[in-house]
Each structure stands twice: as C-alpha cells, then as structure tokens.
Amino acid sequence: MRRKKRSWWFLGIALLSLCGFLYFINAFSPETLPFKLSSLNIQLPTLPIFFVLLFLFLFSFFAFVLNNNARGFLIGLFAVIYLLLRFYHFTQIFFLIMLVAIFTTLTLLFAKRA
C-alpha cells in the first residue's frame, strides 16, 4: 500500500494562520467588538474573524500532522463548535457528550468511505 505524500502547503497555511491568530488576539481586545479598517472605512466584527482564524489554523495543522484532510476538518470544526457552545453558555456535560458522539459518527462515516 502506498502512502500519500504529505502536503507542505498545509504547514505553511498553519504557520501563517497561527501568526494571524496570535496577532489578532494581541491587537484587539474583546470589549471592542467591531474594529475599523481605517483605510477602507469598514467595520468588521471580531468574533467571526477569531473563529475563522482558529479553524483555519487547526484544520491546516491537523491536516498536515495526520496527513488526512477530513480528520483535520473534523478536528477544527469540533474545536470551533465547542468554543461557540461555551460562548453561548451551553456548558452542560450533555452538550459535550452529544458533540463527541456526532463527531465520532462522522469520523467513522469518513473512515468507511476511504
């Protein structure tokens, strides 16, 4: 059985998104929800940008480490959904168990297809 070649693009994307994520955390405080791009006069909300950068980092990092795009996607999506549940105060253990069950089922579904 041949092994799939590891894509080095994912490592580059992971490092760039990690740098952007860390800059975003250090540059913007959570109290200032929309931040302004002074050159374009546009206001962007900080919360979606935070979650997109986090997902992009986790997806590309785990896709590189595990050499599997589907598992990287599922790990990134799991972390973002878990943090969104925490943000909206769904902190009961039931929600975590349901989330783990859903993502375990999806992982098994993707494993069956491959």
Average pLDDT over residues 7-23: 94
pTM of the predicted structure, to 2 decimals = 0.85
pLDDT band at 114 (very low <50, low <70, confident <90, very high): low
The string of pLDDT tens digits covering residues 26-83 is: 887 776 667 666 677 777 778 888 999 999 999 999 999 999 999 999 999 999 999 9
Q: How far apart are CA 73 and CA 84, in angstroms?
A: 16
pLDDT band at 5 (very low <50, low <70, confident <90, very high): confident
